Amino acid sequence: MKKNFWLDVILFVSGIICIVTGIMLDFHLIEGGHEGRKIYRLIHTYSGYVMTVGILIHLAWHMDWIKGATKKIFRR
């Protein structure tokens, strides 16, 4: 249970960072010209990478549940 909690925290934080930086980049809310956007683009990219790895780990940890739920759905 503890590993799921920390993985969920990591996924939540990286997701929020990715969403906020994406909105800031899309709506041009960043001052500092090209250099300012470059830093936010890096933060956005790497938070997306962290989130992707976290999702893959999350799916791997819950593979038994996914298989069981899928079998249950398709049995009907």
The structure's pTM equals 0.86
The structure tokens 């090209």 sit at 34
Q: Provide the percentage of residues in the chain whose pLDDT is more than 90.
A: 88
Give CA–CA dist 6/11, Å, rounded: 9
| CA dihedral angle for residue 42, residue 47, residue 48, residue 54, rounded to 10 degrees | 150
Cα separation values, 6 from 13, 26, 37, 40, 55, Å? 11, 30, 30, 25, 13
Judge whether 37 lies within some domain.
yes
Residue 61 is part of which domain span?
2-70
Number of domains in the chain: 1
Residue pLDDT, tens place only, 3-39: 899 999 999 999 999 999 999 999 999 998 999 899 9
29 falls within a domain: yes
Would 50 be classed as within a structural domain?
Answer: yes
Query: Does residue 75 form part of some domain?
Result: no
> Does residue 76 form part of some domain?
no
User: Per-residue pLDDT for 64 more than 70?
Assistant: yes
